[in-house]
């Protein structure tokens, strides 16, 4: 596996490649990331992974400085998974001049849900992803469904900029108790880790109730938020949306998604469950 750190090295390594599969990451890799690499291998070759902690998507007071950086271990895992090339630039390489140009996603995606609590986050995500797409020139790119809102932002980015890239979504991998795998899970203390899967259980309970015929979705989300708060969580949101648009679902919405973001101590966890709505299939 080749490891490069500059745009020039990356372009030299990928010269003439027309079937590249790309997995962008911020590093500190876990089994969920490896599943995305495996998925990428099914769709293109060579498989390229990037490792870059992007300052543009972190707000004031967020965890940019303490976000785990484990490049050597990450490269070992990627090599074992069959990745062909790792692009691991530093901030100066990605932003050699102040990034005064930025991609601004539509407000309906950028300022809702996580965007309402992390102003500018999705602009930072979209800007760095567009830069990475320009550098790697992939035919396909793989993103995880755990960051569901991010996935929709990237799909819309590709659509509106007419990029010749297929976006492939990888399913969320979970720990044995249901907790979605995340690099930030290591921030959790021992007792917090035992409690962390409650978020997934509350979302699953909403899905079960909707599929059983419950129509008051707003009340279901409010009840889930109340349960989390009673257990000591600080809830940003619990919401049920159309899975294709992230807008409020209509009666004809075939695919829906219930999403949640909440703080357990100093750790912000996000999760979601996508599901078919029973009424839409009748």
Q: 39-50 pLDDT, tens per residue?
A: 999 999 999 999
Closest CA to 56 of 11, 33, 86, 26: 26
- Answer for the pair 155, 127: CB distance below 8 angstroms, yes or no: no
Within the chain, all domains assigned CATH 3.30.1300.10 are found at 183-274
Is pLDDT of 280 > 80?
no
Q: In which residue ranges of the chain is CATH 3.40.50.620 found?
A: 2-170
CATH architecture of 2-170: 3-Layer(aba) Sandwich (3.40)
Mean pLDDT calculated for residue range 106-114: 94
Strand order from edge to edge, sheet including 166-170: 2-4, 85-87, 47-51, 21-25, 140-144, 166-170
CA distance 184 to 188: 8
Is the per-residue pLDDT at 219 higher than 90? Answer: yes
pLDDT digits (tens, 9 = 90+) for 71-80: 999 999 999 9
CATH class of 183-274: alpha beta
pLDDT value at 281 more than 80: no
* Active-site residue set: 33
């Amino acid at each position: 596996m080749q490891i490069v750190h500059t745009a020039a090295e990356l372009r030299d390594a990928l010269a003439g490649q027309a079937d590249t599969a790309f997995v962008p990451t911020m590093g500190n890799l876990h089994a969920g990331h490896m599943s995305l690499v495996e998925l990428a291998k099914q769709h293109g070759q060579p498989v390229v992974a990037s490792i870059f902690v992007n300052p543009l998507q972190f707000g004031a007071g967020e965890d940019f400085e303490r976000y785990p950086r484990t490049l050597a271990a990450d490269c070992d895992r990627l090599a074992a998974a069959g990745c062909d090339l790792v692009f691991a630039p530093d901030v100066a390489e990605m932003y050699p001049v102040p990034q005064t140009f930025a991609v601004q996603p539509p407000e309906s995606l950028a300022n809702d849900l996580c965007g309402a609590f992390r102003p500018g986050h999705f602009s930072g995500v979209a800007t760095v992803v567009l830069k990475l797409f320009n550098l790697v020139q992939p035919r396909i790119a793989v993103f995880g469904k755990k960051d569901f809102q991010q996935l929709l932002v990237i799909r819309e980015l590709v659509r509106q900029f007419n990029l010749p890239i297929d976006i492939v979504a990888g399913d969320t991998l979970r720990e044995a108790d249901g907790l979605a795998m995340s690099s930030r899970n290591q921030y959790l203390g021992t007792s917090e880790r035992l409690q962390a899967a409650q978020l997934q259980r509350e979302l699953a309970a909403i899905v079960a109730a909707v599929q059983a015929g419950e129509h008051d979705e707003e009340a279901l989300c409010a009840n889930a938020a109340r349960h989390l708060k009673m257990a000591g969580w600080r809830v940003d949101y619990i919401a049920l949306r159309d899975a294709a648009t992230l807008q409020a679902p209509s009666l004809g919405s075939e695919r829906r998604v219930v999403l949640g973001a909440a703080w357990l101590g100093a750790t912000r966890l996000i999760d979601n469950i996508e599901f078919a709505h029973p009424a839409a299939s009748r």
